A and B are shown apart, each in its own frame.
Chain A
Amino acid sequence: MLHRFKFKHGVHPPELKELTAAVPIRRLPFPEEIVLPLRQHAGAPARAVVRAGDRVERGDKIGEADGLMSTPVHASAAGTVQDIGLWPHPDGSYAPAVRIAVDRYSPQAPRPRLVPEWTRLEPKALVAAIREAGVVGLGGAAFPTHVKLSPPKDVTIDTVLINGCECEPYLTTDHRTMVEYPERVHLGVRIMMRCLGVHRAVIGIERNKPDAIEAIRATLPADLDVTMQALEVKYPQGAEKMLIKAVLDREVPPGKLPMHVGVIVQNVASAATIAEVFETGLPLIERIVTVTGRGVRRPGNLIVPVGTRVGDLIDACGGLTPDAREIIFGGPMMGTAQASLDIPLLKSTTGVVVLSAAETRPQESYPCIRCGRCLDACPVFLNPQLLGQLALKDRYADMAAARLADCMLCGCCGYACPSNIPLPQLFQLAKVAVRKHPVPA
């Protein structure tokens, strides 16, 4: 069968990107205070290596990696450590965080390079340098990049797949990155190809970003096998498994990772960040964030120090409108609603979407009428109807048997459901329950 660069199922939410798609990236002025949670990603949180009263310069390490699935955390501004204590975390919990009072009149001056030049490094040292720079995936999941770049010996990677889909509605950080920093994306790709010893890379971009497609195409390196693939506009085109299916027509089997079909997937923002840390010599201490939605006065794309509190960021974007009602970190399909303006941004926070009261989803739900729309939406071919009914009866073992583990919580089923049943939420709870009380095989 002819491969048409598509995956099956999925949904077509409104794109809502027009608010910020054409807004150039600008820099957020340093806030007065930075709060850096030591848990920036799944896996082990970092261990604090500073104490209250310590002076830190921009780029200094404040948290040391703790184990293989861990990365260090660095100060994103010069200042004084106020305290290390529990602080509201974007995931809804309280987590240890380092609070830094930012020097009011510090020039936040450039300083000697902390990250070595990449050209002189062997692949292994390159991966170690990327880890030391605290680089994680910037597409939302924040998977430590060095883990992806060190596949086990028994798998062969033939392709680096760069994810420029940005299929979440509203968000435009990857879009603006590709338009404004295409060379950085390509340099990051080059460095990752060197790390992995891979000779082929493909950059996949959804067709709704013609300027990004043009910018990336115009700067493709002549000496490397890097190509650009324009892709259908459909959610979740940027999910790893869907992207691999669409670009390479390979299916990652249940329970397996992209590397098992010979692919490493990295976000364009991650690629640009890898390039940036080697260019500037500073570790990952800032990222590009889209601040958008009808609930914020001046939507835009900003370079933001990691650990900036969302309230400071929103203030810099003109503040909230009177009808602002819900603040979401990430996109509206998978993002997490935030309870307070004090919550800091993480390395993985792709966007801050502020919904007005009229845009928030109604909370009333109805009984399942078995319309089957969730089945037609699910990109991994689960039966969310059955899973949802089981979840409402707390039948978690049966859910595990119905392949709950394959669910990636993309939200397509919940988006499609006319009865407004919170299917992804039910599945997330069930996943936690199954993890706590594993089903005997």
Chain B
Amino acid sequence: MSQPPLLITASPHLSAGDTTPRIMWHVVGSLLPILAAATYFFGPSALLVVGAAVAGAVVTEWAFGLRGTLGDGSAVITGLLLGLTLPAGLPVWMAFVGGAFGIAIGKLIFGGLGQNVFNPALLGRAFLQASFPVAMTTWPVPGPGEWRALRGDNFALPFASPLPLDTVTGATPLGQMKFEHQATSVVDLVLGTTSGSLGETSGLLILLCGAYLALRNYLNWRVPAAIFATVAALSGGLHWLDPSRYPGAPFMLFSGGLMLGAVYMATDLVTSPVTNPGSWIFGAGVGLLVVVIRLWGGLAEGVMYSILIMNALVPYLNRLTEPRPFGAEPGRIRR
């Protein structure tokens, strides 16, 4: 028999079928309904801001990343997630710079996909927050006005002051709570008809998209579960002690960036623990920090910094929660 060209590869010769690009593009796909909701609430501005952030991330990955890494989809995720944390009225050049910063400084400088310590999207947002504090805290109100109207001077030139547009802006529910002691109805929060960043509006939708990813094992459900449980327990307890000073658990869970952060940012595979016990601790830490920053810190919102701080602890958490070696405890051997 003549011999065909034989392939020689190492075992295992089967694979579970999932690939990293597939996981990444599924995450991208699951973010599209959230982007659609943002567009519904904030009009074309949402698409402009998110598109600019994605463009910044993708162009930077293409320019400075290793060849072929665009196809793994991770840069698109970074851009999408960053865009969804921005206010609708933000000038697009700022969103672009944020995406570029997130990829360049948040990811590539560490060695590219898989090597970064901090969530690149959140690092991009932190950069924007520090650089453009006013633009980053001007929150258009969703809904009113002509649908096609922009919600701010999206086309402001770099380093020029944005033109004042005829757009209704308002404080976010967390800002109202913190600085004006006004509560927002939880129904509005769940549906997303409040002001805030593009993706921090409809908590219900984010939960559904996250559930889809969790069912496919594309995110570790333990992280959001731990965050929700910690935030609910802490804020619920404080609310019970002094309802006039501390908002209740549903408000804390559905306001601000908590949903998007817990479901999509904290669960970033690269920057969260690899062990399951580590994931529980990581989530609990994020939840604790969110409550502390929101209730006692100088900022109205604390999700971004909470996750970034816990990102830094991930290597330590991984080591702390190394699995018990099989057969390591002789006491477990029963005869």
Q: Which A residues have a C-beta under 8 Å from some C-beta of B?
A: 11, 13-14, 158, 169, 241, 245, 249-254, 256, 261-262, 311, 314-315, 319-320, 324-328, 332-341, 353, 355, 360-361, 363, 366-373, 375-376, 378-383, 385-386, 403, 406, 409, 411, 414-420, 422, 424-425, 428
Contacts and interface: CB of A to CB of B under 8 A. Distances in A.
Is the contact region of chain A dominated by helix, strand, or loop, or is it mixed? Answer: loop
Contacts of B279: 372
A420 B15 CA distance: 8
Contacts of B273: 372
Interface string B211-246: 000000100100000000000000000000000000
Contact of B113 (A363, A366, A381): A366
Number of chain B interface residues as a range: 35 or more
Given A366-B21, A367-B112, A256 B327 contact: yes
B114 A367 contact: yes
A367 B113 contact: yes
Given A241-B327, A372-B274, A251 B13 contact: no
Q: Which of B5, B23, B272, B274 has the most CB of A within 10 A?
A: B274
12 contacts: A256-B327, A326-B8, A335-B13, A360-B7, A366-B72, A371-B269, A371-B274, A372-B269, A381-B326, A415-B16, A420-B15, A420-B19
B3 interface: yes
Given A250-B333, A256-B327, A332-B14, A337 B274 contact: no
Given A254-B328, A333-B14, A381-B323, 14 more contacts: A245-B326, A252-B326, A326-B7, A332-B12, A333-B12, A335-B11, A335-B13, A336-B11, A337-B10, A366-B20, A369-B114, A414-B11, A420-B19, A428-B10
Interface of B: 1, 3-16, 18-23, 72, 74, 112-115, 217, 220, 269-270, 272-276, 279, 318, 322-330, 332-335
B13 A340 contact: no
Nearest to B275: A375
Contact of A250 (B23, B115, B335): B335
B325 A385 contact: no
Contacts of A249: 334
Contacts of B220: 372
A21 B34 CA distance: 49
Contacts of B275: 372, 375, 383
B269 A319 contact: no
